Amino acid sequence: MKASEIIMADAVKRNIDPAKALLSIGEITKNNSGVLMQENNSVLLVRKIDPTSAEIHLFTEDTPLTLAKSVIGFVRRGKELGIKTVYGKADNQGIVELMKRVGLNVEPSDLPQYNWKANI
């Protein structure tokens, strides 16, 4: 699937307007405040907070097993970018549990706008 198709399908599942989601992500990537990464049928929006920390948002159409492989790929690519800590605001605790299962140390965030962080 194309990144836009994954984002739209994920938005529909979350009851978010897919057109607004694509527009918002397009603005973020256009003004270079974030980048998209794709692994399998998962897309990760990465927005740097500082040189070694980033906010992430996951959009996925992967099966659970493939999603685990995608997360491992995202971690590898994040390390290549010099990212050491990622932050997020999970509305689905399943993704937090998946990150723990692939070996990430997920804990409560030290930044108030996020509910979890993980060192990669």
CATH number at residue 108: 3.40.630.30
Q: Is 43 exposed, middle or buried (0-12, 13-18, 19+ CB in 10 A)?
A: buried
Q: What is the pLDDT of residue 94?
A: 84
pLDDT tens-digit map of 7-41: 999 999 999 999 999 999 999 999 999 999 999 99
pLDDT tens-digit map of 88-99: 998 777 888 899
pLDDT of 57 strictly over 90: yes
Q: Which domain holds residue 88?
A: 3-119
Centre a 10 Å sphere on the Cβ of residue 92 and count the other Cβ atoms it contains.
11
In the block, tokens 């099966």 appear at 63
Rounded-to-integer distance, Cα 70 and Cα 40, Å: 6
Pairing label, strands 85-88, 53-60: parallel
CA distances to 3, 14, 32, 43, 97 from 35, rounded to whole Å, are 12, 21, 7, 10, 24
Please give the tally of structural domains in the chain: 1
Q: What is the pLDDT of residue 90?
A: 80
Q: What is the pLDDT of residue 96?
A: 87
pTM score? 0.92
